[in-house]
Amino acid sequence: MFGGKTKTAAEPPVNVKALHAKIGQLTLENDFFWKARSARRDRGKR
C-alpha cells in the first residue's frame, strides 16, 4: 500500500522559455500602464 510503485500522472511537456517570455511581456505591459496611470493622476493635481 505505502511502499509499492507509485503512478505518475502523464503531464504534457512545459515550454518554460515560452512561459518566461509571456511573463516578461505581461510585466512590461503592467509597468507601462501603471506608470501611465500614475502620470495621469499627477497631472490632475497641478
The answer to whether residue 6 sits within a structural domain is: no
The answer to whether residue 36 sits within a structural domain is: yes
Alpha-carbon gap, residue 37 to 26, rounded angstroms: 16
User: Whole-model pTM?
Assistant: 0.55
> What's at 21, amino acid-wise?
A
Q: What range defines the domain where residue 44 resides?
A: 15-46
Alpha-carbon gap, residue 35 to 46, rounded angstroms: 17
C-alpha cell at 45: 493635481
Q: Residues 1-45: pLDDT tens digits? A: 677 676 667 788 899 999 999 999 999 999 999 999 998 888 776
Contacts of the segment 22-27: beta carbons below 8 A, 24+ positions apart:
none
pLDDT of residue 9: 72
The answer to whether residue 9 sits within a structural domain is: no
Q: How many domains is the chain partitioned into structurally?
A: 1
pLDDT of residue 1: 60
pLDDT of residue 43: 79
pLDDT of residue 7: 66
The answer to whether residue 45 sits within a structural domain is: yes
Inform me whether the pLDDT recorded for 46 exceeds 60: no
E strands, the chain, in order: none
